[in-house]
Amino acid sequence: MIVLEGGHVATVDAAGAEHTDGHVVIDGASIVAVGPGPAPDELRAGAQLLDTTGCLVTPGLVNTHHHLYQWLTRGIGADSTLFQWLTELYPIWARIDADTVHAAASANLGWLALSGCSTSTDHHYVFPKAGGDLLEATIGAALEIGVRFHPCRGSMDLGQSAGGLPPDEVVEDREAILIATEAAIDRWHDESPAAMTRIAVAPCSPFSVTAELMREAAELARGKGVRLHTHLAETADEDEFCQRTYGRTPAEYLADLDWLGPDVWLAHCVHLPDSAIASFAATGTAVAHCPTSNGRLGAGSARVRDLIDAGVPVGLGVDGSASNEAGRLVDELRSAMVTARLRGGPQALTARETLRLATIGGAQCLGRESELGSLEPGKLADVAVWRLDGLGLAGSVDPVFCWAFSSSAPLELLLVNGRGVVAEGTLLTADSGRLAREAAAASARVASR
């Protein structure tokens, strides 16, 4: 039994309950009690007592969109649009293999854990023919770091010769994609409540995937009972491509393919008309909001206020580290608030709404809101503790607002399934120095090829 007490506990439950001097009690992988003041004596007896005075206690953060392999190619295309950036990077990504991807994923997931992330997705869609088992490489990295992982078996089958954006050397045959995707689900997907690994099916984007693959991927996912993920409406270039190629907006195109529903979450969704937001709300389709990446690539700012008000589930995503060189999930709370307020004023997005996006909203995107995303009895013990009494945030009147808007509070503790992953800013499950050295060497190897 572990008892956290003395800190400001932001439960992110349905009522938004907060306890200025509260407790969280963990038994094994589950939360068994949350409330104000010290934990009940019967729960404290024999437990490991952790004093969180001066700290903010939140659910572990949930990263709903990422590309772990892109850790290898940060700093490239610094002033490019999305299409320019992809065109420059596709040939480099064609050189990745299982060893380089494992190094990138390990470093990336370790860094995410150090930013309070207890659950992460990964959308991997580049599979060079001689690259080895890249999905296994990322899953192995997640198991080592100890974070909950939702790898999305991505794919591209629409090369330049057929009118797509990616060069033909980085696309796959549609039948091979479907076979590999089904095999990944059969091997790795875990439906148990405390699962550490769940697979999603994730063709890449309207400009890199055929309509046939989109339809067949959806049929496969629904037949297997797993979720669907793709990029959508990220840039004006994509909107123009869809209008020119399909005679539809990106959202209309997806609706035609039966790609909207409560089992779907979509990355970015920057350029959405009112009709698309209404359609997402009506179908339960969720959105992964990636504010820093959208700003880095000049893509625009998603209509988060409108999405929330319409009832669309919204989570936060870091996106690939090559379009978000910081790669820290906690930073996305500040980015989300700043971009929303630039669009709609100081009430456009509050700190507590943003905390919901980073926790229970992300859990909704992944279909795990009954297990993750809030501090409530019966939920999994994924807990982040942030130190607020240091020089940067000492004396903060509103701990949730100051933590979210500054994104500078040191991470004191991260638990996943009740197991320590980070303590006092140090990664417990792997050596950070080794991860950095291996990632740097992998990046150099990819560049040298």
| For residue 65, pLDDT beyond 90 | yes
Q: Which helix (H) or strand (E) holds 148?
A: strand 148-155
What per-residue confidence (pLDDT) applies to 381? Answer: 98
Mean pLDDT of the chain: 96
Q: Which whole number is the average pLDDT over 49-71?
A: 97
What per-residue confidence (pLDDT) applies to 78? Answer: 92
Closest CA to 288 of 83, 119, 85, 48: 119
Q: Which whole number is the average pLDDT over 50-68?
A: 98
Q: Measured between alpha carbons, how far is 375 from 249 in angstroms, rounded to an integer?
A: 39
Q: What angle do CA 55, 56, 58 make, to 5 degrees?
A: 140
| For residue 318, pLDDT beyond 90 | yes
Dump pLDDT digits (tens) for 207-240: 999 999 999 999 999 999 999 999 999 999 999 9
Closest CA to 286 of 255, 308, 313, 267: 313
**61-365 is classed in which CATH architecture?**
Alpha-Beta Barrel (3.20)
Q: Can you read off the two tokens belonging to residue 407?
A: 């994104």
Contacts of 393 (CB under 8 A, 6+ apart): 399, 402, 403, 406, 408, 409
What per-residue confidence (pLDDT) applies to 321? Answer: 85
| For residue 449, pLDDT beyond 90 | no
User: What is this structure's pTM?
Assistant: 0.97
What per-residue confidence (pLDDT) applies to 345? Answer: 95
Fold of 2-59+378-427: Urease, subunit C; domain 1 (2.30.40)
- Give the start-to-end residue ranges of the domains of the chain: 2-59+378-427, 61-365
Buried b vs exposed e over 61-100: b needs ≥16 C-beta within 10 Å? Answer: bbbbbbbbbbbbbbeebeebebbebbbebbebbbbbbbeb
Q: Which helix (H) or strand (E) holds 109?
A: helix 98-113
Q: Which whole number is the average pLDDT over 344-366?
A: 97
Percent of the residues in the chain that have a pLDDT greater than 70, as a whole number: 100
